Amino acid sequence: MFEIGLTGTEKLALSYGRILVVDDDPRVRLALTRMLSDAGHDVHDVSSAREARHVLDHDTIAVLLSDVSMPGQTGLDLIRFALCEHPEIATLLISGLEEAGIAQVGTDFGAHGYLTKPVRRSEVLIGVTNALRRRTVEARERAARQSLERTVTRRTRALSNALAQLERAGEHGDAMQAQTLLRWAQSAEYRDPGIGTHGTRVSHCCAVLGRAFGLHAESLGLASVVHDVGKLAIPDSIVLKTGPLTAHERHEMQRHADVGYEMLRDSTSSLLDLAAVIARTHHEKFDGSGYPRGLSGASIPLEGRIAAVADVFDAMTCDRVYRPAWSVAKTTAWMQGERSKHFDPSVLDAFLSSTDEILAIRSA
């Protein structure tokens, strides 16, 4: 087999599977079959797209190598069918015309490569090797996605069961409500060791600030402990990423605010209703540049404005997977620069007046 810089595991993975050659010209078909067979591949050949469909439906094919122009269905029609019905197959197109348009259409359909006639042995073998490598990578990615989907489903089911249990406790089950909320927070913290007891620290800070505004400190503290519960539905590859997030990954991460709200809302518990509000609004900014809804000023619930200050302060003064902690002095100086932008000025002032108390609780 023609191998280019592969590890032993990759060579084994790439050598597995049959190659299907499709071309209405018997001479081309024979030449391709000999090239691939001599390189150690298991090859089957047919003369039409109709025959190829039959083989694809009844045999395990790793690579489909098809001519573009054939009587009846074209090679483009064939690979479109193959990738729709058998997405695990790698596909290569061969054409007698060197046209960029055909190559682009094939790529748009999902083809892994494009070769022009007369084909050379080295080009065919390199094309097949690269297609097999991509097939292996894509199979790993599919398996990883499926694993993440199962993990998210399992976590969401566990949270739903816990929520049902909490609601059965009713408004008078204060102890059970508190215990369940704390366990949810622990679930998120165990998943990401880098955040430690972030939820608990934010909870204590919110309680202190809530007291300054005449709110029920205990309820605000308990409700804010699960402000990031929506992250349980975000893939680990994003939550635990050590480098910068892509635009897509950042969008996925930002979904946690709405996901947390959906998890917690519409319950019979006023505590959970408050937790839902905080989960959805703790990333809103006073100037309207936050997410998920771009609320501004007093349209952001006071509890959300309080949680925004507490969340940012704790996140910046603790080590994260993507950066080391800032000092308290550096963090508070930066936060003062965000007055009336990220933070409600009155909440920020209350926080700055209570910093010593908050730090004392953190170190206790």
* Kind and range of the H or E run holding 45: strand 42-46
**Does some domain include residue 146?**
no
Number of other CB atoms surrounding residue 238 within 10 Å:
19
User: Residue 296 in contact with residue 171, Cβ under 8 Å?
Assistant: no
The 10s digit of each residue's pLDDT in 15-39 is 457 899 999 889 999 999 999 999 8
Residues 135 and 177 in one domain: no
More confident residue, 357 or 164: 357
More confident residue, 99 or 130: 130
**Cα–Cα distance for residue pair 202/180, rounded to 1 Å:** 17
Residues 335 and 197 in one domain: yes
| Radius of gyration, alpha carbons of the chain | 29
* Kind and range of the H or E run holding 37: helix 26-38
Question: What count of residues does the chain have?
Answer: 364
Segment of 214-218, 245-249, 252-256, 286-290 carrying the highest mean pLDDT: 286-290
Res 248 pLDDT > 80: yes
Cα separation values, 208 from 129, 217, 297, 345, Å: 63, 7, 21, 17
In the three-class reduction of DSSP (H, G, I as helix; E, B as strand; rest coil), residue 167 is classed as helix
Q: φ, ψ for residue 228 (rounded to 5)?
A: -105, 20
* Residue at which a domain ends, from 96, 124, 139: 139
In this prediction, residue 187 carries a pLDDT of: 57
The overall pTM is greater than 0.85 = no
In this prediction, residue 184 carries a pLDDT of: 60
Residues 177 and 114 in one domain: no
Q: φ, ψ for residue 64 (rounded to 5)?
A: -105, 120
In this prediction, residue 192 carries a pLDDT of: 55
In this prediction, residue 12 carries a pLDDT of: 36
**Does some domain include residue 164?**
no
Task: Specify the number of domains making up the chain.
Answer: 2
Name the residue among 320, 312, 324 with its Cα closest to residue 358: 312
DSSP 58-123: HS-EEEEEEES--SSS-HHHHHHHHHHH-TT-EEEEEESS--HHHHHHHHHHT-SEEEESSPPHHH
Q: Residue 328: give the domain boundaries.
A: 171-363
**Does some domain include residue 147?**
no
Residues 116 and 204 in one domain: no
Helical residues (DSSP H) of 213-269, grouped into ranges = 217-224, 236-239, 247-264
**Cα–Cα distance for residue pair 69/44, rounded to 1 Å:** 19
In this prediction, residue 81 carries a pLDDT of: 87
**Does some domain include residue 224?**
yes
Segment of 147-156, 229-238, 271-280 carrying the highest mean pLDDT: 271-280
Residues 100 and 225 in one domain: no
In this prediction, residue 123 carries a pLDDT of: 87
In this prediction, residue 17 carries a pLDDT of: 72
Res 171 pLDDT > 60: no
Name the residue among 80, 95, 78 with its Cα closest to residue 20: 78
Residues 320 and 203 in one domain: yes
**Does some domain include residue 152?**
no
**Token digits of residue 42:** 């298991």
In this prediction, residue 5 carries a pLDDT of: 40
In the three-class reduction of DSSP (H, G, I as helix; E, B as strand; rest coil), residue 55 is classed as helix
* Residue 20's CATH number: 3.40.50.2300
Which residues are catalytically annotated? Answer: 231
Residues 208 and 325 in one domain: yes
**Does some domain include residue 1?**
no
In this prediction, residue 120 carries a pLDDT of: 86
Residues 330 and 225 in one domain: yes
Residue 197 DSSP code: T
Segment of 55-59, 81-85, 87-91, 147-151 carrying the highest mean pLDDT: 55-59
In this prediction, residue 320 carries a pLDDT of: 74
Which residues, 6 or more positions from 30, have their beta carbon under 8 angstroms from its beta carbon? 45
Cis omega before residue 292 (within 30°)?
yes
Q: φ, ψ for residue 39 (rounded to 5)?
A: -85, 0
| Block residue for tokens 């700055």 | 352
**Does some domain include residue 151?**
no
Res 9 pLDDT > 70: no
* Residue at which a domain ends, from 139, 156, 187: 139
Average pLDDT of the segment spanning 293-321? 93
* Residue 221's CATH number: 1.10.3210.10
The 10s digit of each residue's pLDDT in 175-193 is 555 556 666 665 555 555 5
* Mean pLDDT lowest among 6-10, 56-60, 305-309, 331-335: 6-10
Residues 119 and 186 in one domain: no
- Kindly report the average pLDDT of the chain as a whole number: 81
In the beta sheet, which residues pair with residue 42? 18
Lay out the sheet containing 90-95: strands in order across: 42-46, 18-22, 61-67, 90-95, 113-116
**Token digits of residue 30:** 């024979």
In this prediction, residue 59 carries a pLDDT of: 87
Residues 188 and 130 in one domain: no
Res 352 pLDDT > 90: yes
Residue 221 DSSP code: H
User: Residue 194 in contact with residue 225, Cβ under 8 Å?
Assistant: no
User: Residue 39 in contact with residue 11, Cβ under 8 Å?
Assistant: no
Residues 127 and 214 in one domain: no
Res 336 pLDDT > 80: yes
In this prediction, residue 102 carries a pLDDT of: 66
**Does some domain include residue 183?**
yes
Residue percentage of the chain with pLDDT more than 90: 36
Segment of 130-139, 277-286, 355-364 carrying the highest mean pLDDT: 277-286
Residues 176 and 303 in one domain: yes
Res 90 pLDDT > 80: yes
